[in-house]
Amino acid sequence: MSDTIDAEALRLRYLEERDKRLRDDGNEQYIEPTGAFAHYLDDPYVEPVEREPFTDDVTVAFIGGGFAGLVTGARLKQAGIDDVRIIEKGGDFGGTWYWNRYPGAMCDTAAMIYMPLLEETGHMPSEKYTKAPELLAHCQRIGRHFGLYDNAALSTEVTEVTWDDHASRWIIRTNRGDDMRARFLAMGTGPLHRPKLPGIDGIESFAGHSFHTSRWDYAYTGGSPAGDLMTGLADKRVGIIGTGATSVQCIPHLAAAAGELHVFQRTPSSIDIRNNAEIDAEWFATLQPGWQAEWLANFTTLQTGGFADQDLVMDGWTDISQRIRDKTIAKGDFTPQGMLAAYHDSDDEKMTEIRARVDEIVTDRATAESLKPWYRQLCKRPCFHDEYLQSFNKPSVHLVDTDGKGVERIDEAGVWVDGKHYELDLLIYASGFEVGTDYARRSGFDAIGRDGIALSQKWEDGMMSLHGTHVHGFPNMFIVGPSQAANLISNVPHNLVERGQTLAKVISHALAVGADQVEPTAEAEAAWVELLEAGSRGFGNNPDCTPGYYNNEGKLATEANMRSSLGFPDGPMPYFNYIDDWRNSGSFEGLEFRRHRDL
C-alpha cells in the first residue's frame, strides 16, 4: 500500500463519520408514500387507457413489466408459450426505466452487458453507458419484438393474488377490476421499486412544488428526459434532498437550469471517473453470434474476483475487483484474513484517489472537504460521473452540508438546516427506495398460497426458496430476481436473463408432461437455504460501514433480513453454471410435477 496513507487514521475517521450518522430508527426514519403522501406515487407520464376488465384464463401471468418480465416473457415466447400476460403498474413497459426519467438518468453498468437481448433484438447501444431514454426504448423494443404488448395489462396494479388449489390456478385481482386466472404466475417486482420519503419534521407542510425523483414533473421544470435544458427552473429556487446515485446524475442538469440550487447532503457519494464513449458501429459489426453471453460471463467472472484472458467491459466495477484480486496475489496470502487485508489496502488507495479527485475538481476548499466520502467504496453505491463535482463550481449551486445529521425541518416555505432557513420554490426528494422492508409492503400485494398461507407469513423468519425461484406451498409460482441465487448486484439483468431461461424450461416441461402443479419439495427448499447459509453471508450488512440501504441503515440485520440477501456460496458464475446444468438435466431435481389425478 502507498506509504502516504495512514490506514489507522483512516479507520478512525471512517468510524467517526459512521457514528455521526447512526440512528436508532434505521429504516423507520423514512415514510411511506401513502395517505397524504400517496400522490408522490402518481404516474406523471401516462394517462391510463380505458379498457374492459380481464376475466380470462392465461397460461402465464407475470407481475412487473421491467426487465424481469420482459426477458422472461421473451424466453417463454421463444419456447413457444404464447399466452403470456404481463401486468404492469406503469403505463408502459420499462420498470425502473419507466419511472426514473429524471434528467441525466443513465446506467452505471456498461450497456453491452446491461441491456438484455441485444443480439435477439438487433440493437446496438449508442454509448458505453446508455442514457435512460435509450433504456426505456429498449424495453419497449423487447416488448414489441416478442409480441408482449398484445396481451399486456398496463397501468394496472395487482391487489390480490390467490392460489386455487382445486383448479390449479392463480386468481389475480387488480385495481382495474380484473379478475383473471393464470396457470403459472411469475413475479419480478424489482428490488428498488417503492419510493420512500425522508421522515423530516414538517415535510407535509411544504407549500411549494415537490416530487420524488422517480416521478419527475417535466410539466413544472421544463426540459426532457433527453437532457434538454429545464427552462422552467430559470427563476426558481430549487432544493434537492439526497446525494445518492440518482442525485449525482440529475444535479448537473439542475445546476445548469436552476436560478439557485441548494443540495442538502447528509453523506457524500464516492464519485469515480465515468469516461463514457460512443460505440463504434464498425467494431460492433465485427462481433460474432453469441458475443453477449461471452461478455456477460467475462464481466461476471472478473467482477467477482476471477480470471479471464481479457477484460472486455473495462469499467469501474471490474477495476474494483481486479485491484483487490491483484493485491491478494501480490501479498500471496490467500487466507480469508489475507484477502480481507488486500481488500482494505486496495480500498484505501481507491478512496484516497477519489478524495484527491474532489480536490482537483472543486475549487472552493470548504465545499471540496464536504464532498469527500469517508467510508469504504462498497459501503454505498459507488458513483461514476464526469460533471457532478464540477457543478459545485457554479456560483448558483450551494452545497448544504448537514454533517451527517440530515435536514432538520421542513416548513411551508422551505428547509431548515442547523438553524438556517432556505426558501425554496421546488423541493426534490432524491431519497431513494425501500429495500429492507417487508416483501408484501414493497410489492403492494401479498401472494396467498395453498391452505391460505400468505407469502409474508411463510417468509416471516426470512425468504425460503429453491434457487430463489420456487417456493414450497406456492405451486406454479416463480420469483424472478437476484436473491438466493447468483445475487449479482453489479449487473442485475444478468440474473434475470438466466432466470427467464430457467422458467421457460420448467414451464415447458410442465406443459409437455401435462403437469397441473409444479412445486419444490419442502426438503429441497430447506436444503437450498441451508447450502446458502453455510456459505458467505451474501451481500452487504457491514456494521462498520456508514449507514445506508446496503447495510440495513447501520442496524444489524435480523436473520430474516439476511436470508433475502443470500447468494450461492461459490459466487455468481458457478451459480449460473449450476443452474444451466440443472435446467438442462431434464430431471429438475427438487421440483415435483403433479397431475390432478395424483393430487
Name which position in 174, 247, 303, 552 contacts ligand NDP (CB under 6 A): 247
Shortest reach from residue 26's CB to ligand NDP, in Å: 11
3-state secondary structure (DSSP) of residue 183: strand
Q: Does 266 bind ligand NDP (CB under 6 A)?
A: yes
Shortest reach from residue 433's CB to ligand NDP, in Å: 6
Q: Which is nearer to ligand NDP, 246 or 346 (CB)?
A: 246
3-class SS letters over 55-79: CCEEEEEEECCCHHHHHHHHHHHHC
Q: Does 107 bind ligand NDP (CB under 6 A)?
A: yes
Query: Cell 431461461 maps to which residue?
Result: 501
* Interface stretch with ligand NDP, choices 201-209, 358-366, 431-439, 467-475 (CB under 6 A): 431-439
Q: Which amino acid is at 268?
A: P
Q: Which is nearer to ligand NDP, 430 or 557 (CB)?
A: 430
Q: Does 389 bind ligand NDP (CB under 6 A)?
A: no
The grid coordinates listed for 20 are 455521526
Separation of alpha carbons 229 and 225, rounded Å = 10
Q: Does 198 bind ligand NDP (CB under 6 A)?
A: yes
Q: How far is CA 521 from CA 187, 447, 472, in A?
A: 20, 19, 6
Shortest reach from residue 52's CB to ligand NDP, in Å: 36
What sign for the dihedral angle of Cα 284, 288, 292, 297?
negative
Q: Does 548 bind ligand NDP (CB under 6 A)?
A: yes
Q: Which amino acid is at 322?
A: Q
Separation of alpha carbons 308 and 7, rounded Å = 31
Closest CA to 599 of 186, 164, 187: 164
Q: Which is nearer to ligand NDP, 75 or 381 (CB)?
A: 381
Shortest reach from residue 209's CB to ligand NDP, in Å: 19
Beta bridge partners of 264: 241, 400
8 A C-beta contact, residue 71 and residue 292: no
Q: Which is nearer to ligand NDP, 475 or 538 (CB)?
A: 538
8 A C-beta contact, residue 472 and residue 463: no
3-class SS letters over 461-482: CCCCCECCCECCCCCCEEECCC
Q: Which is nearer to ligand NDP, 407 or 503 (CB)?
A: 407
Shortest reach from residue 410's CB to ligand NDP, in Å: 10
Of all helices (H) and strands (E), which one includes residue 31?
A: strand 30-31
Name which position in 155, 189, 246, 517 contacts ligand NDP (CB under 6 A): 246
Q: Site map for ligand NDP, 46-75, x if CB under 6 A?
A: ------------------------------
CB atoms within 10 A of CB 285: 8
Shortest reach from residue 422's CB to ligand NDP, in Å: 13
Name which position in 40, 99, 264, 582 contacts ligand NDP (CB under 6 A): 264
Q: Which is nearer to ligand NDP, 97 or 439 (CB)?
A: 97
Shortest reach from residue 130's CB to ligand NDP, in Å: 10
8 A C-beta contact, residue 15 and residue 8: no
8 A C-beta contact, residue 538 and residue 453: no
Separation of alpha carbons 71 and 517, rounded Å = 23
The grid coordinates listed for 33 are 408514500
8 A C-beta contact, residue 136 and residue 88: no
Q: Which is nearer to ligand NDP, 233 or 251 (CB)?
A: 251
Name which position in 17, 88, 92, 108 contacts ligand NDP (CB under 6 A): 108
Which strands make up the sheet holding 260-265, listed edge to edge? 209-212, 426-429, 237-241, 260-265, 397-401
Q: Does 551 bind ligand NDP (CB under 6 A)?
A: no
Q: Site map for ligand NDP, 344-363, x if CB under 6 A?
A: --------------------
Q: Site map for ligand NDP, 12-51, x if CB under 6 A?
A: ---------x------------------------------
Q: Site map for ligand NDP, 465-504, x if CB under 6 A?
A: ----------------------------------------
| Contact positions with ligand NDP (CB under 6 A) in 224-243 | 241-243
Phi-psi region of 554 (alpha: psi -120 to 50; beta: other; left: phi over 0): left
SS3 content of the chain, % helix, strand, coil (to 5): 40, 15, 45
Shortest reach from residue 218's CB to ligand NDP, in Å: 18
Q: Which is nearer to ligand NDP, 168 or 370 (CB)?
A: 370
Q: Does 132 bind ligand NDP (CB under 6 A)?
A: no
Q: Which is nearer to ligand NDP, 161 or 263 (CB)?
A: 263
3-class SS letters over 222-242: CCCCCCCCCHHHCCCEEEEEC
Name which position in 1, 15, 124, 192 contacts ligand NDP (CB under 6 A): 192
Q: How many residues are given for the chain?
A: 599
Separation of alpha carbons 127 and 143, rounded Å = 22
Name which position in 75, 350, 381, 494 contacts ligand NDP (CB under 6 A): 381
Name which position in 118, 238, 256, 430 contacts ligand NDP (CB under 6 A): 430
8 A C-beta contact, residue 376 and residue 14: yes
Helix segments in 521-598, DSSP class H: 522-534, 559-564, 572-585
- Is residue 255 exposed (0-12), middle (13-18) or buried (19+ Cβ within 10 Å)? buried
Shortest reach from residue 266's CB to ligand NDP, in Å: 3
Q: Which is nearer to ligand NDP, 249 or 552 (CB)?
A: 249
DSSP assignment of 273-291 equals: -----BPPHHHHHTPPTTH
Q: Site map for ligand NDP, 393-412, x if CB under 6 A?
A: ---------x---xx-----
DSSP tag of 374: -
* Interface stretch with ligand NDP, choices 86-94, 103-111, 350-358, 527-535 (CB under 6 A): 103-111
Q: Which is nearer to ligand NDP, 150 or 201 (CB)?
A: 201
Q: Does 200 bind ligand NDP (CB under 6 A)?
A: yes
Q: Which amino acid is at 444?
A: G
Q: Which is nearer to ligand NDP, 40 or 433 (CB)?
A: 433
Name which position in 184, 549, 575, 582 contacts ligand NDP (CB under 6 A): 549
List residues near ligand NDP by CB under 6 A.
21, 107-109, 192, 198, 200, 241-247, 249, 264, 266-267, 381, 402, 406-407, 430-433, 548-549
